Structure 1
Amino acid sequence: MLSRVSALIAVRLHTADGGGVPLLGRFSYDRTDPFAVSAQFFTEHTVLPHWCFDRQMLAEGLHHPVGEGDVTFRPHRTEGGEALRIGLRDSADGTSAVLMVDAPAVAGFLDETYAVAAPGSEFFDADAFLAELLSR
C-alpha cells in the first residue's frame, strides 16, 4: 500500500497589475503526517517558501470559502475553467500572494491521498509524539 503521493500542478501567481506568473506546485502527502498536505511552489529559477495545508481545508476550498488568517481557499471560475484560489499571507512581514490552481488537478491529487488514508481514518499518536519530543 502507498504511504506517499505527490503531484506537479500548474499554478498561476497573480500580480498587482492583474497579470500572472506561471509557477509549478509540488503537492505532497505522507501518511506519517495524515492531516497535512505540503506544497512547494517554484519557477525554473526560483523556489518559494514551503507551505503546509490542512488536507480537509484544501478539499473544502474546492467547494466553498474556508480559512482565515495566513491561508485561505475558495473556488474560483476562470476563463480556463474551475480553479482553486489560494490566498497566502506571511504574518512576519505582512506580504501576501494569491495563487490560482487548476481545481480538477487538485481534486485528482486529493483522490490519490484518499487512497493512502481515507478521510476520517487519519490517526495521530499524540502520546508517541510527546514522548519523542520530551526525549530530546
Structure 2
Amino acid sequence: MSFISALITVQLDAVRGRLPLLARFTYDSGDPYAVRATFLDGATPLARWHFDRQMLADGLHRPVGEGDVAFRPHGEAGADELRIVLRGPAAQREADAVLFVDARAVEDFLHQTYAVTGAGEEFLDVDTLLDALLAR
C-alpha cells in the first residue's frame, strides 16, 4: 500500500475576505477512489472531508457535484483556482463553506496519486470488505 500526503494552503471565503487555512490532502492506495482532506487551523483539525478522486480531478476542468461537495474551476486576477463548496446539514446552511485552492497544487497532488494508482486501475476487493464487515 502506498500513501501520498500534501499540505496545501486553501482560502476560506469569509464575510471580510479570504482567510488562509492549511489542508492536508491524503491518498491511500488501499482506498483508491478517495482523497481525504483535513482542514487545519495551525495544528488543530477543523473539519475532515472525503472526496471522490475522479470528481476532484474533473472539478479542475468543469463544474461537478450536486450534494454535499461541489467543485468547479475558478479564475480571478489571472489565478487558476479550484472552488470547493462544502455543504453542512440542510437545517444548518450557516455551516456551508466555500474554499479556493490553487489548481496547480491540486494537480500536483493528483499527479502523485495517479503515479501510485492510475486512472481506471482502481480496485476495491468487495468480498474481503464484506467478510470484514460481517465478522463484526
Q: TM-score, normalised by structure 2?
A: 0.93
| Residue 14 (1) aligns with residue 13 (2) | yes
| Residue 97 (1) aligns with residue 97 (2) | yes
Shift of 1:7: 0.5
Q: Which runs of 5+ in 1 are unaligned?
A: none
Question: Where do 4+ consecutive residues of structure 1 move more than 3 Å?
Answer: none
Number of equivalences:
134
| Residue 108 (1) aligns with residue 108 (2) | yes
RMSD: 1.4
Match for 1:82: what amino acid? D
Per-residue deviation, residues 33-66 of structure 1 (Å, max 9, x unmatched): 0000000011226421100000000000000000
Q: Distance in 2 between matches of 1:67 and 1:12?
A: 20
Match for 1:52: what amino acid? H
Shift of 1:4: 0.9
Q: Distance in 2 between matches of 1:89 and 1:3?
A: 30
Shift of 1:78: 2.0
Q: Distance in 2 between matches of 1:58 and 1:44?
A: 24
Match of 1:30 in 2: 28
1:65, 1:75 within 8 Å by CA — same for their partners in 2?
yes
Q: TM-score, normalised by structure 1?
A: 0.93
Match of 2:64 in 1: 66
Q: Distance in 2 between matches of 1:24 and 1:79?
A: 22
Match of 2:80 in 1: 82
More helix by share: 2
Match of 2:117 in 1: 117
